[in-house]
């Protein structure tokens, strides 16, 4: 009798896990920038290099670029790390600890939320960041990559 009682509970747990995993996987971020001029599209590797390698120039853009990220634990950051950087948060944190310790690179500037991201990007020429897909953007901000 007790085994029959556990089957519905196990099924509910499995369904909940599947729905949660699918909703997380279905969420996407877009890479946004304030670069003025004509619309530009950057590749995944260009965006990754901008955020992880300290590059500030790409051929497609005339202004110097600088990356802006969300804090660790933010859903948009987790999605960005998985879809663009291709590394888990722990590896990224380790990488930046090494870069800061050696004095080679500084991690991207961080903002606390999507509103702050949009505000900073819209008021700072050359700023590049990411927001959840479907976020309303001001006219001076354009999508430069959609993974």
Question: Is 61 inside any structural domain?
Answer: yes
Residue 77: inside a domain: yes
Number of independent structural domains in the chain: 1
What is the CATH number for 115?
3.40.190.10
State the residue range of the domain holding 46.
28-145
Give the model's pLDDT for residue 24: 45
Predicted TM-score (pTM) of the model is: 0.80
Predicted confidence pLDDT, tens digits, the chain (147 residues): 455 555 555 554 455 544 444 444 458 999 999 998 788 999 999 999 999 998 899 888 889 999 999 999 999 999 999 999 999 999 999 999 999 999 999 999 999 999 999 999 999 999 999 999 999 999 999 999 998
Tell me whether residue 53 is in a domain.
yes
Answer whether residue 35 is part of any domain.
Answer: yes
Question: Is there a domain that residue 9 lies in?
Answer: no
Query: 11 in a domain, yes or no?
Result: no
For residues 140 and 34, give the distance between their C-alpha atoms in angstroms, rounded to a whole number: 6
DSSP string, 41-63: ---HHHHHHHHHT-----TT-SS
């Amino acid at each position: 009798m007790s085994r029959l009682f556990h089957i519905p509970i196990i099924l509910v747990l499995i369904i909940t896990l599947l729905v949660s995993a699918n909703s997380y996987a279905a969420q996407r971020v877009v890479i946004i920038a304030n670069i003025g001029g004509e619309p530009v599209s950057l590749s995944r590797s260009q965006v990754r290099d901008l955020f992880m390698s300290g590059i500030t120039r790409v051929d497609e853009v005339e202004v110097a670029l600088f990356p802006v990220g969300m804090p660790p634990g933010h859903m948009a950051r987790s999605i960005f790390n998985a879809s663009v950087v291709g590394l888990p948060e722990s590896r990224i944190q380790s990488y930046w600890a090494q870069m800061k310790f050696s004095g080679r690179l500084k991690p991207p500037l961080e903002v606390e939320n999507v509103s702050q991201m949009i505000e900073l990007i819209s008021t700072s020429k050359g700023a590049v960041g990411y927001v959840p897909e479907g976020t309303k953007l001001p006219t001076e901000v354009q999508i430069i990559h959609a993974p």
